[in-house]
């Protein structure tokens, strides 16, 4: 096993993990994926790198530090606490909180200069009151960051977050009357990877309702991973790549998987393990809970020391392979 560890180059990682399995995240692959996605965009369109949910399990702090170092100036997270984690880690640039803005999070948003996503005047009123309590009668830009800025979100069909299209004008008016900077206006697509008709309907609604504000210079964005791959909304001011920047498909459909591969996106995460046992079994022997697999001939079975706590679910049985020096082995 010593020679095999040296040949694979994984001895250091196994040592750091202190167990015979580890996950490797290739940050250069994430950057390469963003460069590929950038090729789908208009020249003026900027990236908002979505690093919510611990960067989809890839490590939000490490990913954000690396991307900021390589010129990414906008990030998006799901909650104010996720944004606080990035600020504490030294991330300086714009951080938008995508989740519905909550008054319970206002203090965290304020202290960390985070940009909330807003859909009602009630939050805007509380937001304004806090800033004025801090002797900031005029919200502005300091140290390159918009202080007190908000993103206004319109619901165009997903029916989960955002104000209704008919309500947008009142939110914009409230912000303008109270000197609250509007970072941008956004919507979110419900099925941009495999229902382009519904997605285009959402797009048309958004473009119509935001037309007067775009003419006044307010920035807008709509495109998530699926929309970028389908080239919908890629000529607006921003796009918001999430799962695709990590090389994963927008969903598990054949269309989503094939579109990801065709684009040249590659997974940034790989999972490595050493077998804890290798057994030679005769025909008729069964393997695993519920007799998941039955040997039809003399077969060699390796036990890999991973399970639920590592994120490996039983419904993945029979649906994957591991790569070995002897070629692919099927999972059971």
Q: With contact defined as beta carbons under 8 Å apart, do 241 and 263 qualify?
A: no
Per annotation, catalytic residue among 110, 289, 312, 318: 289
Q: With contact defined as beta carbons under 8 Å apart, do 64 and 256 qualify?
A: no
52 an active-site residue?
yes
Give the N- to C-terminal CA distance of the chain in Å, as an integer: 24
Per annotation, catalytic residue among 3, 35, 43, 52: 52
Please compute, for residue 20, the number of CA atoms within 13 A of its CA located in the half-sphere on the CB side: 12
Residue 145: how many other CB atoms lie within 10 Å: 16
| Structure tokens that stand for 223 in this block | 């495109």
Give start and end residues of each alpha helix (H) in 89-195: 106-111, 121-133, 168-177
Q: With contact defined as beta carbons under 8 Å apart, do 115 and 146 qualify?
A: yes
CA distance 4 to 299: 22
Give start and end residues of each alpha helix (H) in the chain: 2-8, 11-17, 27-38, 52-57, 60-69, 80-88, 106-111, 121-133, 168-177, 196-214, 225-229, 254-263
Q: With contact defined as beta carbons under 8 Å apart, do 185 and 205 qualify?
A: no
3-state SS string for 244-258: HHHCCCCCCCHHHHH
Catalytic residue IDs: 52, 289
């Amino acid at each position: 096993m010593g020679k095999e560890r040296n040949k694979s180059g994984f001895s250091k990682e196994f040592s750091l993990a202190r167990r015979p399995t580890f996950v490797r995240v290739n940050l250069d692959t994430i950057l390469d994926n963003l460069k590929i996605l950038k090729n789908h965009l208009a020249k003026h369109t900027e990236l908002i790198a979505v690093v919510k949910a611990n960067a989809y399990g890839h490590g939000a702090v490490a990913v954000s530090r690396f991307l900021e170092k390589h010129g990414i100036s906008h990030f998006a997270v799901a909650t104010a606490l996720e944004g606080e984690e990035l600020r504490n880690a030294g991330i300086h640039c714009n951080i938008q909180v995508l989740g519905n803005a909550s008054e319970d999070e206002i203090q965290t948003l304020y202290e960390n200069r985070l940009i909330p996503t807003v859909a009602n005047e009630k939050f805007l009123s509380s937001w304004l009151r806090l800033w004025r309590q801090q002797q900031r009668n005029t919200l502005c830009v300091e140290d390159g960051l918009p202080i007190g800025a908000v993103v206004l979100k319109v619901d165009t069909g997903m029916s989960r977050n955002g104000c209704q299209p008919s309500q947008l004008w009142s939110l914009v008016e409230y912000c303008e009357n109270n000197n609250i900077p509007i970072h941008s206006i956004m919507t979110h697509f419900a099925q941009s990877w495999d229902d382009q008709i519904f997605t285009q309907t959402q797009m048309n609604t958004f473009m119509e309702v935001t037309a007067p504000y775009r003419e006044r210079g307010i920035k807008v964005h709509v495109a998530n991973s699926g929309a970028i791959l389908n080239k919908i909304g890629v000529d607006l001011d921003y796009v918001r790549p999430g799962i695709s920047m990590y090389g994963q498909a927008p969903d598990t459909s054949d269309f989503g998987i094939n579109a990801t591969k065709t684009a040249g996106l590659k997974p940034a995460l790989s999972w490595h393990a050493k077998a804890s046992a290798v057994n030679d079994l005769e025909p008729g022997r069964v393997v695993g809970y519920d007799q998941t697999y039955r040997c039809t001939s003399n077969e060699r079975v390796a036990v890999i020391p991973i399970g639920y706590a590592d994120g490996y679910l039983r419904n993945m049985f029979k649906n994957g392979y591991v790569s070995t020096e002897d070629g692919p082995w099927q999972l059971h």
